[in-house]
A and B are shown apart, each in its own frame.
Chain A
Amino acid sequence: MKPTLILVGADKGGVGKTTLSRSLLDYFARKNVLTRAFDTENPRGSLRRFYPNITEVIDLANVAHQMKVLDTMETANVPVTIVDLKAGNLSYALDLFERIGVLEAGRNGLFNLGLVHVVGPSIASLDEIGEIAKYLQGVHYILARNSINETNFFEWDEATHEKYFSAIPKAQEINIPKLNEMAYEQVDLSGVTFKDFIENRTANGSNAKFSFVLRGYVKKWCSEIDAEFAHVQLLQEIVSGGRSGASV
């Protein structure tokens, strides 16, 4: 199976980018698809806190780190690589990947290339779509409207959004539903994956004592996310060709 590189990013901070990366890793784990992840929030690495066994913290500006991601796409024997881009770094990362030939390699079919662009409800998010559109030829572009922490409605002018969105080939849109605040906080504090939280397990696999109610909310939220991901062609191609025995 052709490997897949999925970039998760946003040019605005605090829109739930790392949560989306966690949701993807969780989704693939539930579907028994092996994954690995790179966290560019160097040196802290908030994604690594939840997935220490499969996540490396890298500095995207460092050539050796770029090689660690890109030169191992074929040899890592893992069908899906997720790169969680540091907040505010999306345009920079796409520009860098264009310059060093990553986007070109994706367009030429060496691997599948996806971009999950996480946006919040503010109007400023619309401009981001226009700014990155020039990089998206041959890229599976997934616009994720994230409501996980938000109670506000999206403030967008839908006509303007449509103008930006329709100009991008292979564009799809998903909505990340709101998760009960206490449940979200509890998962975050516990430092476990959503899957482990639902299954009442600690990070080291022993039995936990998480609230039944909060686990129920997370379980329902994950099923809603699954329904959203089920619309995404790239993800479905991966899942249908995935291997069993995920390490997450």
Chain B
Amino acid sequence: MAGRPTVYIIASDQSRNGKTLLARLMADYLLLDGKDPFLIDTDAPEGPLRAFFPGRTALADFEKTQGRMKAFDTILAAPGRDYVVDLPQRHVLDFFATVRELDFFSAAHEAGFRVIVFFIVDRATPSLRAAKDVYEEKGIDLFVAVKNDFVGSAWPPGEGALTLPLLPRDVALAISEKRFSLRNFVLGDDQGLESDQRLTLNNFMFSVLGSLNSLDTEISLAALKGD
């Protein structure tokens, strides 16, 4: 995505619905686009996102003050690049409460960032309410609802959302291996996938990366409308 450096926040009110996969996709998309993103994995101590990008990820335990400093101070100290923040379900409320308390989004805007939130709307109806609460947070430049077909979503059909298409279990399992690079796959390294698996993943990547690419248009439209 062209334009200003951006803080991408990947969140959901539910666990195990593809947040880390989406954070990986976002990071790989940016890398394929020639960007140099830095990732903040707040899922300590496991750090599932860091396992895929060990050289460009900070593991920040958001329950602790030091973790909050690691997340927010890291971003504001080096504002010229993109950041992807992977928020596990248990930190979502606390994260946005802290953002409000510290007025982080204003500081991010002052530092030249825009803020984009991807919220995975789970299949349970309360997830819609949680999505709305996050949508109403002040200072978000673009809110992107995400449906993961693997888990289902309460997001209304026909309403605009980024969709993670259904992946067969064997492909989902294969790409969850930490040695598997989605970016390298796009660049032609099949990393041991069978031909039908390659075809499936290829379609998946084409769909998701295309959707991410189209966000540029949405951002431009939002800017034109003065949102």
Give the interface of A toward B (CB within 8 A).
180-183, 211-214, 216-217, 220
Given A180-B65, A182-B65, decide whether A213 and B103 contact each other with a Cβ distance below 8 A: no
Do the beta carbons of B102 and A217 come within 8 Å of each other?
yes
Which of B69, B101, B103, B104 lies in contact with A211, CB distance below 8 A?
Answer: B69
Interface residues of B in 167-204 (CB under 8 A from A): none
Do the beta carbons of A216 and B65 come within 8 Å of each other?
no
Known: A180-B65, A213-B69, A216-B101. 14 other contacts (CB 8 A): A181-B65, A182-B65, A182-B66, A211-B73, A212-B72, A212-B102, A212-B104, A212-B107, A213-B68, A213-B73, A213-B102, A216-B102, A216-B104, A217-B101
Give the interface of B toward A (CB within 8 A).
65-66, 68-69, 72-73, 76, 101-104, 107
- B residues near A182, Cβ cutoff 8 Å: 65-66, 69
CA distance A211 to B70 in the complex (A): 9
CA distance A3 to B107 in the complex (A): 40
Do the beta carbons of B66 and A212 come within 8 Å of each other?
no
- B residues near A183, Cβ cutoff 8 Å: 65
- A residues near B65, Cβ cutoff 8 Å: 180-183, 213-214
Do the beta carbons of A220 and B76 come within 8 Å of each other?
no
- A residues near B101, Cβ cutoff 8 Å: 216-217, 220
CA distance A217 to B72 in the complex (A): 13
- B residues near A220, Cβ cutoff 8 Å: 101-102
Least CB distance from A148 to B in Å reads 16
Least CB distance from A227 to B in Å reads 15
CA distance A181 to B64 in the complex (A): 11
A-B contact pairs, 10 of them (CB 8 A): A181-B65, A211-B69, A212-B72, A212-B73, A212-B76, A213-B65, A213-B73, A216-B102, A216-B104, A217-B102
CA distance A212 to B74 in the complex (A): 10
- A residues near B73, Cβ cutoff 8 Å: 211-213
- B residues near A212, Cβ cutoff 8 Å: 69, 72-73, 76, 102, 104, 107
4 A-B pairs closest in CB distance: A216-B102, A213-B69, A182-B65, A213-B68
Do the beta carbons of A216 and B69 come within 8 Å of each other?
no
- B residues near A181, Cβ cutoff 8 Å: 65
Complex: chain B residue closest to A182, CB-CB: B65
CA distance A83 to B64 in the complex (A): 37
CA distance A202 to B72 in the complex (A): 21
Least CB distance from A212 to B in Å reads 5
- A residues near B66, Cβ cutoff 8 Å: 182
Complex: chain B residue closest to A210, CB-CB: B73
Least CB distance from B219 to A in Å reads 25
Least CB distance from A84 to B in Å reads 29
